[in-house]
Amino acid sequence: MNLKEKILDYLKKNKNIDKNKLEEAKKINNYLNFKNFLIESNFATEEEILLIFSKELKIPLLDLKKYRIPYKNKDLLPKDLAYKYKVLPICKIADVLTLATFNPLDLIAYDDIKIVTNVDKVDLVLSKEEDILKALNILYESKEQMENLLEEESFEVEEREERYSLENLITESKNPPIVRAIDLVIYNALKKRASDIHIEPYEDRVMVKYRIDGVLHEEFSFPKKNQPAVIARLKIISSLDITESRLP
The domain segmentation of the chain, as residue ranges, is 3-57, 64-133, 152-237
DSSP 8-class letter at 141: I
C-alpha to C-alpha distance for 14 and 165, rounded to whole angstroms: 72
Predicted TM-score (pTM) of the model is 0.64
User: Is residue 197 predicted with pLDDT exceeding 60?
Assistant: yes
**Residue 153 clears pLDDT 80, i.e. is over it:** no
CATH 3.30.300.160 fits 64-133, yes or no: yes
- DSSP secondary structure code for residue 70 in this structure: P
Which CATH architecture group holds 152-237?
2-Layer Sandwich (3.30)
Q: Read off the pLDDT of each residue in 138-167 and give the average, rounded to a whole number.
A: 63
Domain pair 64-133 / 152-237, same fold: no
Q: Can you give the pLDDT at residue 94?
A: 92
Q: Residue 61's pLDDT band (boundaries 50, 70, 90)?
A: very high
Helix segments in the chain, DSSP class H:
3-14, 19-26, 31-40, 46-57, 79-85, 107-117, 129-136, 142-150, 166-173, 176-191, 227-237
- Look over the chain and give the mean of its residue pLDDT values, rounded to a whole number: 83
CA distance 125 to 63: 10
Percent of the chain with pLDDT over 70: 88
